[in-house]
Structure 1
Amino acid sequence: ESEKIDALYTTAPPNSLHLIGKRLHRKTGVPWLADFRDLWNQYPESYNPFRLRWKARLDDRFEKGVLEACQRAIVVSETMKQELLTKYPDLPEERILVITNGFDPDDARNLQPKRLFPQKFTVTHSGTLFAWRKTPEFFEAIRALVDTNPEFSRDFQLVLIGIVHAAVQEEIRRLQLEHWVHLLPYRPYPEMMQVLKGSDVLLLIVGNQPHAGNVLTLKLFDYMNAGRPILAVAPEGEVCRIVQKFQRGSVVLPGDGSGIKAAVERYYQDWKMNGLHEKSVQDLSAYYRRNLTQKLADILDETVKE
């Protein structure tokens, strides 16, 4: 009140920030913009691991209350917007706007690729590999390839940068893949981008949990910025659409072990024939952070003027 704030902007998770924004909006009357990077119940494995029905109902009540109270809600994908409109049919469609995640092309432009294993066919995953996103079919496909293809067994290397949850590590041990998997702690962002640029294929595992189709992870945009082919294990939805639209790589449905195996084998054969070249950067300016920030600024201006 003393600072004469023109607008309130909350972004979540954590979802408690939206509850704070709602309370401030009611107290001050200042226009409020609520930004949902995830749905309130996007990841029940984390937020409601015991599947408590009372908690799920309470979360829905909180989510609906925020959507009804704010002037504008921003979501990360068109699929997420449609999920909310289906769930809450009384919401005006124009209240929910889409601003995706994105990237800054300068983050990678002048970075030199860093090859951790110069003589290996290197597949890299960056970020947290959650237990519920492990997709055992991927590791089973790798096990099948190293068992049946001596050259692949000699040449293959999987690099996992970041947090790999215990259940995923147990899956790796169960299949006796330790020799082919290199675990690397989180690295500074520029170094991580160098490793991505120096990899042959970038692995993106979305999984098949509820709401997986609306996931539009920041990882996808880091991968596109790195310019390397992407192997996405993802359901029909946003990741699938963008990878295919911009011809950034291959998409295989979760659970399709033979499809995953074929995709990895195809990339490996291309690598042997020196065919895995950097993907030409098409017009990705719609996902540049500068342009996305301008879109957010325009929405804030419109919200204040109403």
Structure 2
Amino acid sequence: MRNVLVIAYYWPPAGGPGVQRWLKFTKYLPDFGIQPIVYVPENPSYPLVDDKLVDEVPADIKILKQPIKEPYGWASLLSKKKTETISAGIIKEKNPSFMEKLLLWIRGNFFIPDARKLWVKPSISYLAKVIADEGIETIITTGPPHSLHLIGLGLKKKYNIQWIADFRDPWTSIGYHKKLRLTESSRLKHEALERSVLVKADKIVVTSNTTKSEFEAITPKPIKVITNGFDDELQPMELDTDFTVSHIGSLLTGRNPLGLWQALQELIAENESFKKSLKIQLAGVVGEEVLQSIEDFGLMDCVRQMGYLSHDKVLETQQKSQLLLLLEIDSEETRGIIPGKLFEYLNTKRPILAIGPKGWEAGNMVEEHQAGHMCLHQDVASLKRVVLEAFQKYEKGNLNCDSVGVEHYHRRALTESLAKFI
């Protein structure tokens, strides 16, 4: 059994999709002769907490913790609510306040690459002894936050170790990067740090083919696509009696599906049975502008705001829903974003309606696996047709999904691929 050091920020009791990837990798890596040692912050500032995930941490892995200094606590002295929303990834696009502009400017230009940068130097110092004591030959950093890759960069400069950088999301090409109000010098610093990580790391792991292609233009180092996945053996459940259209996860302004809201508004006006049966379920953080759009389209009576759900409740909601929504920002930069929820959606065998940009990798996967349909944000006619067809099948009691070829997204199969790459 060889020891591998995994450096992560999101770890139970953190909630949300960011924690799932390495929680599951560490569960299965010992099956392939690799014993993970996990290094995480002692006092992190998690926007979402799911205490039940603590029970899923493997009992036989060593967890190392060191304190972290984060600026969100200081920023909350200016505006606690706005600091919390920004740290959760909610960036207001329409008419942001002066305080929101200021906090974004500080976040983008003073904390490069991100607000966890103050953990880098102390971690490099602390991990020196760990590498020696545990006989570590391989370290893995996972981001975002991408500052964790700078820990890997610092350790690589000091020690003869293999360093693998895992990118759950892109760095400078991700959609929200342009909203950080970066100065030109700050933008160049981000790009330089990204290039340093990609060039100095021995191997790189990404979650989409689009990101792989982007990185291949920067570095000759080996790049492996290992997507997110699912791990849960689901028990049969009764479907919702209402025509539930459910979205799981943060629904922020950029993902606001205006075309869908219009399609639903028209269907309600045209079909009394549809009006009585429709229930829009939103589980997770919902932006104020999204809620305003829903109200503007007269859909608020159909909406059920579920708030943040524990992972077990998420699985239950997904499995009981009639139709699952997968949404992405309509932009060139988001074509390679594959939300982690897609794989759990696939596991439920419930129909998926994917709405995103042209050429969206995740939307193409939905159709390739025969798990549902992909529509563009502005294509109201197609959205209306897909939803109406699903509703008609629901009325007949045969709204089903016969997806194919999803078995290789199981977390154990993905971990085997990772172990071979290591």
TM-score using structure 1 length: 0.89
Pair 1:225-2:347 in alignment:
yes
Residue of structure 2 in register with 1:53 after alignment: 184
Q: In the TM superposition, what is the alpha-carbon distance from 1:111 to its structure 2 partner?
A: 5.5
* 1:113–1:194 Cα contact (<8 Å) kept: no
Q: 1:148 to 1:141 in 2, by over 3 A?
A: same
Which amino acid letter does the alignment assign opposite residue 132 of structure 2? S
Match of 2:244 among 101, 113, 122: 122
Residue of structure 2 in register with 1:97 after alignment: 224
Q: In the TM superposition, what is the alpha-carbon distance from 1:176 to its structure 2 partner?
A: 2.4
Residue of structure 1 in register with 2:172 after alignment: 41
* 1:81–1:97 Cα contact (<8 Å) kept: yes
Q: In the TM superposition, what is the alpha-carbon distance from 1:98 to its structure 2 partner?
A: 0.9
Residue of structure 1 in register with 2:194 after alignment: 63
Q: 1:111 to 1:12 in 2, by over 3 A?
A: farther
Within-5 A mapping of 1:264-275: 264-275=387-398
Distance 1:51 1:152 in 2: 46
* 1:157–1:181 Cα contact (<8 Å) kept: yes
* 1:108–1:226 Cα contact (<8 Å) kept: no
Residue of structure 1 in register with 2:132 after alignment: 2
Which amino acid letter does the alignment assign opposite residue 295 of structure 1? S
Which amino acid letter does the alignment assign opposite residue 103 of structure 1? F
Distance 2:289 2:181 in 1: 18
Q: What stretches of structure 2 of length at least 5 have no aligned partner?
A: 1-130
Match of 2:234 among 109, 120, 124: 109
Q: In the TM superposition, what is the alpha-carbon distance from 1:284 to its structure 2 partner?
A: 2.0
Residue of structure 2 in register with 1:134 after alignment: 256
Q: How many residues align?
A: 290
Pairwise CA RMSD: 1.8
Within-5 A mapping of 1:1-306: 1-3=131-133, 4-45=135-176, 48-86=179-217, 88=218, 91-92=219-220, 95-104=222-231, 107-110=232-235, 112-113=237-238, 115=240, 118=241, 120-235=242-357, 236-277=359-400, 279-280=401-402, 282-300=404-422
Distance 1:130 1:55 in 2: 25
Q: In the TM superposition, what is the alpha-carbon distance from 1:184 to its structure 2 partner?
A: 0.1
In the TM superposition, what whole-angstrom CA distance separates every residue of 1:42-74 from its partner, at most 9, and x where no partner exists?
A: 434367432543332221111111000000011
* 1:44–1:51 Cα contact (<8 Å) kept: no
Which amino acid letter does the alignment assign opposite residue 206 of structure 2? V
Give the percent of matched residue pairs that are identical in Structure 1 and Structure 2: 31
SS in 2 for 1:109: coil
Distance 1:32 1:84 in 2: 16
Distance 1:183 1:84 in 2: 38
Higher relative contact order (CA 8 A, sep 6+): 1
TM-score using structure 2 length: 0.65
Distance 2:290 2:186 in 1: 28
Distance 2:397 2:188 in 1: 54
Distance 1:62 1:71 in 2: 16
SS in 2 for 1:32: strand
